[in-house]
Structure 1
């Protein structure tokens, strides 16, 4: 395979690309095939410029010296953080119509916590959409006394920074209904013209933390539901199997796992049963 070049830029040699492939798989669980070589070249070239590095070999040396310092940035570069509010709306329909009312009633009666995990939350649209329907369900069912929280995690520091700000361009709000938009999004003016911020009540429901899904997890659960949508598309089969085994350990019998539209547990995990479109329930 010849070296890939960018006009006026450094060259990504075979040895550097092979190092990056192994590093990314070991630390992120992401498999980079040979067909991703040009994508890696182009995206990492921008990262080199940001760091003031002249060669890809220098970047590889940085990763060798201090893997953790650059891991999140590298993950951001090689993955695509595509998300939106109320993406795959049938998941939210199930929450509103069936799951949240039942959970809130059970938690109120038994004095238990309600916990939802948005794993791979990207820039925050998913957990904030979950917070909208959760806040409204708490109000509708008189469950203000229930300890209800959403954990949102991601590896990318840039994505997490956006999620923590909770400020989005108006053209990113397309998935939000007019009613939800009026209630939960605060439109900016002046220097914030063209932007909208999530309501403070949503921030109270969402805890945003960095997390590498391949590393140790500080939380012990249990979670009532885990959303891991459009995340495992980057993983190979063994990595998926390990990840879903760990998810199962944090879910009680009857707990729910929500996947992305192109993802499936078929041939990967026997811990869950399919009960709807990309909706799985942990077996009892």
Structure 2
């Protein structure tokens, strides 16, 4: 299904079929889609992702009543197709997540990181946590639930969680905070009974995160490759299973920007398959599993901007 197939009569360079089907996908089509996704989001696609691209976009091509991936590429690369180009990014973005995923991070947050930060908040200090690449909200809500388990009155203090994602559709879903039975299974029962309630009026989403949790979180659409529209720093950043989709150069630049955005001594939580690399590497100490603490040194070189 995914092996290159020669077109009858030879064809032009790049016209080899990568996926045959209702809408044949050529190497040229995939390269153009990959270039647009890289330019817009830094996501690196290669020919091993041909089947994924086909499966996620072929239904959309059918919905638009187009006849080929070539027609779709021409649409999304045109000024008139700007909205559809954003739709394409949404279709090709992976949004797998779950409550308390990689639970060791939340144990470390609860036991090591939060106690001094909550003490700082009680003393009138400012505390900020960022969930970058928050998907449908389960990560930032897990952070909020962890905080509330230690300090139920935290909303009275200068404490906020920023939750961001590149996909406006997924941000809208995250704001709603509604989930099915399967999604909430990994929420500890004590927290679930206190802060997740039965939802009303929406089939397939039986549970809703309480307003006590929602009020701690600001959801924003944000592209990690563009300008970051905030001036303050963070004490904690979660960016898990996001940077893995970037190439090495882009990864190094993002890590350096996180270094600059964290307060000294701040913590960075990353995905289980990720490692801090590039100039920022020397600026972090690996203090637990995929958990880094910004040290007092400075990473070599300059981070640049994305």
TM over 0.5: yes
The structure with the largest alpha-carbon Rg is: 2
Aligned to 1:146: 157
- Tell me which of 191, 202, 215 is aligned to 2:226: 215
Kindly report which structure 2 residues correspond to 1:1-284, keeping only aligned pairs within 5 A, or say none.
1-2=4-5, 3-5=17-19, 7=21, 9-66=22-79, 69-109=83-123, 111-139=124-152, 145-188=156-199, 192=203, 195-266=206-277, 269-284=281-296
Q: Distance in 2 between matches of 1:241 and 1:20?
A: 24
Q: 1:192 to 1:17 in 2, by over 3 A?
A: closer
Q: CA deviation at 1:156?
A: 1.8
Q: CA deviation at 1:104?
A: 1.5
Q: CA deviation at 1:69?
A: 2.6
Q: CA deviation at 1:112?
A: 2.4
Q: Distance in 2 between matches of 1:73 and 1:31?
A: 18
Q: Distance in 2 between matches of 1:194 and 1:150?
A: 24
Aligned residue for 1:255, secondary structure, equals strand
TM-score normalized by the length of structure 1: 0.91
Deviation sequence 1:91-149 (CA, Å, 0-9, x none): 1111211211101212332x32211110000111001111111223233xx65542111
Name the stretch that deviates more: 67-76 or 50-59.
Answer: 67-76
Q: What RMSD in Å do the two structures reach over aligned CA positions?
A: 2.1
Q: 1:205 to 1:233 in 2, by over 3 A?
A: same
- Report how many residues are paired: 280
Q: 1:164 to 1:54 in 2, by over 3 A?
A: farther
Q: Distance in 2 between matches of 1:244 and 1:228?
A: 10
Is the Cα contact below 8 Å between 2:175 and 2:219 reproduced in 1?
yes
Aligned residue for 1:270, secondary structure, equals helix
Higher relative contact order (CA 8 A, sep 6+): 1
Q: 1:78 to 1:280 in 2, by over 3 A?
A: same
Deviation sequence 1:49-77 (CA, Å, 0-9, x none): 33343322232223222475344432332
Q: 1:191 to 1:267 in 2, by over 3 A?
A: closer
Deviation sequence 1:144-168 (CA, Å, 0-9, x none): 5421111111112332222111100
Q: 1:6 to 1:188 in 2, by over 3 A?
A: farther
